Amino acid sequence: MNDGPFERNPHYVRLSDPGHAHKHTGLDNEGFFGIGVKKGEEYRFSVWARLPQGSTKETLRIELVDTQSMGERQALVAGNLTIDSKDWKKYQMILKPGSTHPKSVLRIFLTSKGTVDLEHVSLFPVDTWKGHENGLRKDLAQALADIHPAIRKAYPDIKIIGSSGPDSEGKQFEYLWPEMKRLKVDLVDEHFYRPENWFLNEGARYDNYDRKGPKVFAGEYACHGKGKKWNHFNAALLEAAFMTGLERNADIVHMATYAPLFAHVEGWQWRPDMIWFDNLNSVRTVSYYVQQLYGHHKGTNVLSLTMNKKPVTGAEDQNGLFASAVYDKDKSEIIVKVANTSDKVQPLSLKFEGLKKQDVLSDGRCIKLRSADLDKDNTIEQPFAIQPQETPVSIDGQVLNVELEPKTFVVYIFKKG
């Protein structure tokens, strides 16, 4: 049957009377590892339907069911939907379950004796992100928005992006980069899913890139721990350290995206991933908070930050320290990011040189991300185990003297006035 209501998807399903008093024809849809529903929340069911055989009215029963229930009824909520047109027409109803269930099933069956054609069956929460009808799941979309990617605003013009291949170095990488220059692409997409040592050794990766060629789009990256290919704090710390080099070289690295973004706890292609979810809950990993801290405090201008007159890139004589600095002209803030990847307390002396005599640094804030257990991360069961912690910090004139704990990522923010 291919005369459905949508030209690009002309097929549909037909429900007819089975000819038995105690049987019904119907459909079950289990969704994505079950359909998570919450007590008292509203869910919008919709379907395109028609009556193909001349009747004037047929009835569908729409239910959200617990298929594992041993009670007298499996339905968490149910309602009748009347189909009353021989032409294709959209029908809707609101379902409001009386209990929460992480793995319900949408069930549709014909209760009358005729025939009904169905197409484009859907079920969405009414309460979606920003209230858009049949929109995005609220918690997942909000988690992404809370990073403040602002990509469309920052890059309104379409750019041509070429690829350097799936690897961050090697024969293919070395061949493709000159080819991308020859083709005059705007950006080159680099990928790096690499172990800990790679991230520790690549702090200066972009310091010497050709400023006259294409810019860089760090299109997919994440630290994949050796023997620990799951989300854990140390991997996120090394991502934070590496990102100081992305920030310091913002003139060449125009875009960067951690990947993958989302993963269902029962259906994932690989780990780590930034945001995990099941049918009812979601959790933001430590890698998420690293991305969020960079997104919230990206500044508008890169500032020079050196240690013994060299960028702080985790070099051999820099004791596992990585750092970058920016100025936010809109907020009049100086922002310094430091990652201590060593297992020792590090004394820091941040000297803010180049300020005018009348400039005063005030309203200092310190945001730290750390964990005593390097293999730990947030989980569905413990979603807030590791989060950034903010405290006030005082500065003596134009010099900040502090001690930074081992295995810690910190953001220092000062108002300049």
Q: Which residues contact 164 (CB under 8 A, 6 or more apart)?
A: 172, 173, 176, 177, 180, 188, 189, 190, 191
Q: What pLDDT is attached to residue 151?
A: 64
Q: What pLDDT is attached to residue 3?
A: 86
Q: What pLDDT is attached to residue 306?
A: 97
- % of the chain residues with pLDDT over 70: 99
Instruction: Give me 413's structure tokens.
Output: 């923010």
Rounded CA gap, 401 and 416, in Å?
Answer: 18
What's the pLDDT band for 152 if we cut at 50, 70, 90?
Answer: low
Q: Which residue in 135, 101, 114, 105 sits closest to 56, CA to CA?
A: 114
What's the pLDDT band for 9 if we cut at 50, 70, 90?
Answer: confident
Q: What pLDDT is attached to residue 317?
A: 93
Instruction: Give me 23's structure tokens.
Output: 């049987």
Mean pLDDT of the chain: 95
Query: How far apart, in Å, do the first and last CA atoms of the chain sit?
Result: 72
Better-scored residue on pLDDT, 356 or 272: 272
Q: Work out the angle at residue 289's Cα, subtended by the Cα atoms of residues 157 and 126, and round it to the nearest 5 degrees.
A: 75
Cβ-contact 196, 235 below 8 angstroms: yes
What's the pLDDT band for 7 if we cut at 50, 70, 90?
Answer: confident
Rounded CA gap, 141 and 231, in Å?
Answer: 20
What's the pLDDT band for 157 if we cut at 50, 70, 90?
Answer: confident
Rounded to an integer, the average pLDDT of 268-280 is 94
Q: What pLDDT is attached to residue 159?
A: 85
Q: Are strands 333-340 and 399-404 parallel, antiparallel or unpaired?
A: unpaired
Better-scored residue on pLDDT, 268 or 339: 339
Rounded CA gap, 214 and 117, in Å?
Answer: 54
Which single residue is written with the structure tokens 């990102």?
243
- pLDDT tens profile 200-235: 999 999 999 999 999 999 999 999 999 998 999 999
- pLDDT tens profile 53-111: 888 999 999 999 999 988 888 999 999 999 999 999 999 999 999 999 999 999 999 99
Rounded CA gap, 228 and 224, in Å?
Answer: 7
What's the pLDDT band for 373 if we cut at 50, 70, 90?
Answer: very high
Q: Classify burial at 347, counting beta carbons within 10 Å of its beta carbon; exposed 0-12, middle 13-18, buried 19 or more.
A: exposed
Helix ranges (H only) for 185-255 are 196-201, 233-248
> Whole-prediction pTM value?
0.84
User: How many residues does the structure list for the chain?
Assistant: 417
Q: What pLDDT is attached to residue 135?
A: 93
Q: What pLDDT is attached to residue 150?
A: 83
Coil, helix or strand for 366?
A: strand
Q: Which residues contact 152 (CB under 8 A, 6 or more apart)?
A: none
DSSP category for residue 147: T
The reply to whether omega before 166 is within 30° of 0 (cis) is no
Rounded CA gap, 148 and 381, in Å?
Answer: 26
- Is 90 exceeded by the pLDDT of residue 304? yes
